[in-house]
């Protein structure tokens, strides 16, 4: 009887230790579950059931601490503990799967955020490239614009020379030569984007015309350009020299 009693007490102690270990594991698992209460409420309830069952067995063991348990009782307790261990293992696997799914979801979310940031940076870089190209073109236009501005007085002088030569009957050959040069000169400037501003007979435009003289003229509407003193030009759509004009006014 003594040997049976010692064996029973040994097994009781083993069960108590196993129960304590299981309780600790349940508590750890329960805390992890509490972090995801929204998804794991049902799982927490199942774990609570295991805790209650373990507590019941533990209480029964404590009540019978001084008594010798029969082999049959010990076997029943052992079976119950094993069942609870198996249930806990299953619950832990399921909990790990849920938490892993959460982690994968967070990782997918972060990956999506990184992709969004990358797309944003790519768009910003494309915008930067376009701005840089635009600034580069504008700077090139600025340099070319200055060059064209320096050519305009030469163009003016050529036109004046042609006008004077036409007044001289003996300068027909000179006129043709200068006109040919002037034609090539104009074609070159036009290809580069130079455009003569329309002025003669046009309504005065303060953005394209510069008034240097006014004259009473009843044959034209008021503020109409009646004479171009100096031609104006626009370079690639931008006015680089307004036309100097005389406009009509009413008496």
Q: Which is nearest to 225 in space by CA: 207, 204, 243, 250? A: 204
Q: Which residue ranges form the domains of the chain, and what is each CATH number? A: 2-116 (no CATH), 194-251 (2.30.22.10)
pLDDT in tens, 69-110: 666 767 777 777 777 777 777 777 777 776 676 655 566 667
pLDDT for res 148: 82
Residue whose entry in the numeric block shows the structure tokens 């209650």 = 52
Q: Which of 8-17, 61-70, 189-198 has the highest mean pLDDT?
A: 189-198
Cα–Cα distance between 172 and 162 in angstroms, integer? 10
Dihedral sign for Cα 223, 228, 233, 239, please. negative
Task: Note if the pTM is more than 0.75.
Answer: no
Q: Which is nearest to 231 in space by CA: 206, 203, 195? A: 195
């Amino acid at each position: 009887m003594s040997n049976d009693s010692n064996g029973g007490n040994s097994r009781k102690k083993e069960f108590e230790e196993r129960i304590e270990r299981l309780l600790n594991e349940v508590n750890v698992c329960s805390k992890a579950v509490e972090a995801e209460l929204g998804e794991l409420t049902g799982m927490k309830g199942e774990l609570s059931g295991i805790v209650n069952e373990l507590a019941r067995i533990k209480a029964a063991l404590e009540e019978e601490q001084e008594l010798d348990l029969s082999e049959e009782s010990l076997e029943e307790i052992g079976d119950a503990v094993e069942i609870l261990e198996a249930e806990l293992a299953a619950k832990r696997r399921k909990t790990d799967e849920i938490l892993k799914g959460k982690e994968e979801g967070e990782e997918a979310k972060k990956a999506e955020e990184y992709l969004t940031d990358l797309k944003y940076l790519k768009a910003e870089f494309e915008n930067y490239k376009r701005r840089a190209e635009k600034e580069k073109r504008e700077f090139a236009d600025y340099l070319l614009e200055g060059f064209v501005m320096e050519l305009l007085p030469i163009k003016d002088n050529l036109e004046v020379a042609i006008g004077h030569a036409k007044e001289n009957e003996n300068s027909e050959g000179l006129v043709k030569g200068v006109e040919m040069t002037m034609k090539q000169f104009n074609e070159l400037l036009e290809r580069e984007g130079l455009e003569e501003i329309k002025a003669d007979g046009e309504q005065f435009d303060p953005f394209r015309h510069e008034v240097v003289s006014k004259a009473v003229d009843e044959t034209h509407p008021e503020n109409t350009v009646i004479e171009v003193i100096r031609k104006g030009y626009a370079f690639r759509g931008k006015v680089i020299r307004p036309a100097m004009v005389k406009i009509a006014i009413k008496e």
